[in-house]
Chains A and B, each alone.
Chain A
Amino acid sequence: MAERMREAEVGPAPTILPDELLDELERTGPDVLRHAIRRVRAEAAAGALAVARFNNQNGGVPTVAHTAGRGDPTAGPDEHRR
Chain B
Amino acid sequence: MRADGPQDAPVPFQEFVLKVHSRCNLACDYCYVYEMADQSWARRPRVMSTAVVRRTGERIAEHLRGHGLTAASVVLHGGEPLLAGAHRLEQLVTELRRLAGPRITLSFVVQTNGTLLDRRMLELFRRHDVRVGVSLDGDRAATDRHRRRPDGGSSHPATVRALELLTGPRYRPLFAGLLATVDLATDPVRAYESLLEFAPPTVDFLLPHGTWSTPPPGRPADPARTPYADWLIAVFERWYAAPRRETGVRMLEEILVLLLGGASRIESVGLSPAAYVVVETDGEIELVDTLKAAYPGAAATGLTVHADRFDAALAHPAVRAGQRGAARLPTACRVCPAQRVCGGGLYPHRFRAGRGFDNPSVYCPDLYRLIDHLARRVAGAAAPGAARRPARPGGPRATPDRPAVGFPIGRTGAAVGTTETILGAPDRANRAAVHPTAGTGEAR
Contacts and interface: CB of A to CB of B under 8 A. Distances in A.
21 contacts: A2-B6, A6-B8, A9-B325, A13-B258, A17-B413, A21-B416, A24-B387, A30-B387, A32-B240, A49-B263, A51-B15, A51-B272, A51-B274, A54-B267, A54-B276, A56-B111, A57-B75, A59-B75, A59-B111, A60-B177, A63-B71
B165 interface: no
B290 A40 contact: no
Given A13-B258, A53-B15, A53-B276, A60 B75 contact: no
A56 B346 CA distance: 11
B412 A31 contact: no
A59 B265 CA distance: 11
Nearest to B203: A58
Interface in A28-58: 28-33, 35-37, 39-40, 43-44, 49-58
Contact of A3 (B3, B268, B290, B407): B3
In the A-B complex, list the 9 residue pairs whose CB atoms are closest, starting with the nearest.
Answer: A10-B325, A15-B261, A40-B262, A51-B275, A59-B109, A58-B177, A50-B263, A13-B340, A68-B1
B163 to A, nearest CB: 13
Q: Is the interface of A mostly helix, strand, loop or mixed?
A: loop
B17 A57 contact: yes
Nearest to B416: A21
B413 A58 contact: no
Contacts of B52: none
Nearest to B267: A52
Interface residues of B, number: 92
Interface residues of A, number: 54
A58 to B, nearest CB: 4
Contact of B245 (A9, A14, A31): A31
Contact of A54 (B75, B326, B340): B75
B412 A55 contact: no
A71 B260 CA distance: 20
Nearest to B13: A51
Given A30-B388, A52-B266, A18 B412 contact: yes
Interface in B6-21: 6-8, 11-12, 14-15, 17
Nearest to B410: A14
Contacts of A6: 7-8
Interface in B135-167: none
Nearest to B270: A52
B429 interface: no
Contacts of B278: 54
